[in-house]
Structure 1
């Protein structure tokens, strides 16, 4: 596997990210050719040059942009809505994967800005991130990811910075409100440097494409890219590092999770079943009930939910909103997962999805997708078990007389 590993210990911004990906090996000529497909109603130029900080040499990128309004006069920032951004990207002719990545980044930004300003994502007017330079930073990063052909993107903790930042709405404490909301999606550190180390654009990129780096992560570092920022003389050098790591295909992976649970003795079984549904809707990977006996000999339920750490806030809110419990316990959990592959098989009566897990490099367990088998059973009148067997053994001979009766 080819994975990108982000070292954001000094933060991340849109221009530093694009610079690091170019320095890592993304073809600049192809990048500029693809970016030229964007219709942003203005002139822009991608300026890339070698730079250094603290003795570390890398790439520095500036987007030199000159936008025009309808009157032909230039202005510093073009205020665009999410609909404008979506139209620019979807009408560009860029590959579907690039469009999907870029739109996911902008969508997270829109959600964060909408929350801050008390509006909806579609009604948000992007200011700084609606300007040509930010559009180029985000779409350019999506193009670079496609060019580098990485199978996954990992990150360690992201430094957010400290102090204050001046933006469209005045002077704000660091992290900026949108950045603080986006930081719910990843581990972060604060006050490592007295400036805005991570911008909303950088935070949205990490939130959209990266997952926590597994520990340990074994493999071979085949390349490193350094994005050099514009600030100097700081406690942390203004540098973003991205590494390309070749890892061996592993049969097992380790995933950090959060478990939330509560003991409840005053809800009916129907209510607890409804609670489990709402926990799943809020982002729980699994939700279950355990029968327990509480103090005073009362029979009760222990309701549990398992989720990714970044979804814990939503799941906890659903827990309180849909149950009578005044308190919820929360634990860190670790899940070990066998490598799985999904495939489809063609039976005489239709297609069935099959999941195969692997152990020690060999197939360990195969399971036909229940919903596919259920649909097959309802369509044909065959027993569910027989449809499941057809999914696992599609080439086996079956009773011809039974086929003739269908």
Structure 2
């Protein structure tokens, strides 16, 4: 198989994988089986497509092949009951023109993976794997655990769902509270991976981010009076409004200070603002997603970085930190402190976080330290930190940007500060 076809197959799976698995799970009623069938179909595609070409609708092709494999399995097991007749009839309807997965199938997949039979970490990890399409290394980095630990966690989660006979369905409303928090978490983490890809050669994975936005909207229709559900949609709308300005013509990242704010999607900002207002109007106090949406709105409404209300953002981060310790939130707060009170205070906050060891092995702390040291005129230290960050990130575009920033410091005199 050529490299070009390999990349195309990988792209098809990134875009279609969750919907294919969700459609199969609806048919066979079992998530681990659906995932196995989808992967078997993908292996068959890797064998056939180099000879026969990629079909017009690859998602339909993969789904049909997986369904045929399900039928073959039932035949071997001599299970020729009503389920077999239904799937056989359904297979005839799967054509290139007609294949349209039900929109809520992916949401059912999220609810299934977030079943209370699983521990919270297992719920989130499994959903990121199956729905978000993240590899195990990326999920392990999000959880700050070794890759083998995460592999075992995901395998155990699949076995637990099978053993418990968990149905593939959106649960009854009375069951939603037990799963709602995990569902919100995984939808936002899927969006986050789309907003800032953790690996690969692209800054954004827009198809993943837009799927998370869609799921948030569907969930909002199911739970229209849940403030955190509305706030999550608000947050994603506000963050997604910057997509057009976050990369340049070459696909390289454009930092917030350099973005052309005229390219921000004002309709998405208006939707985000309205959703946050609806959440606040419910009068239950701001939760984590409401606070994060309020921070995003501060950025969206500012005409420039300098005009941003940084003291207000620091206050919002303080409130967010009181709701629960999170090292990434603490790091973002340190950046806001640097903007509000100066790079020296921001650096002290970063160093305090670094001393806890919570983000050890992540590129985030050295990248922020490098930026703050650069502003303070400590060019040699800044360059070392930026190069260290470049070596830690698995996103090629981000690594290249960090190396360019480090190289630019070669010619800057030591002690020359920037605003």
Superposition TM-score tier, normalisation by shorter sequence? under 0.3
Largest Rg, 1 or 2: 1
Greater share of strand: 1
**TM-score w.r.t. structure 1 length?**
0.26
**TM-score w.r.t. structure 2 length?**
0.25
> Which has the bigger relative contact order, CA under 8 A and spacing at least 6?
1
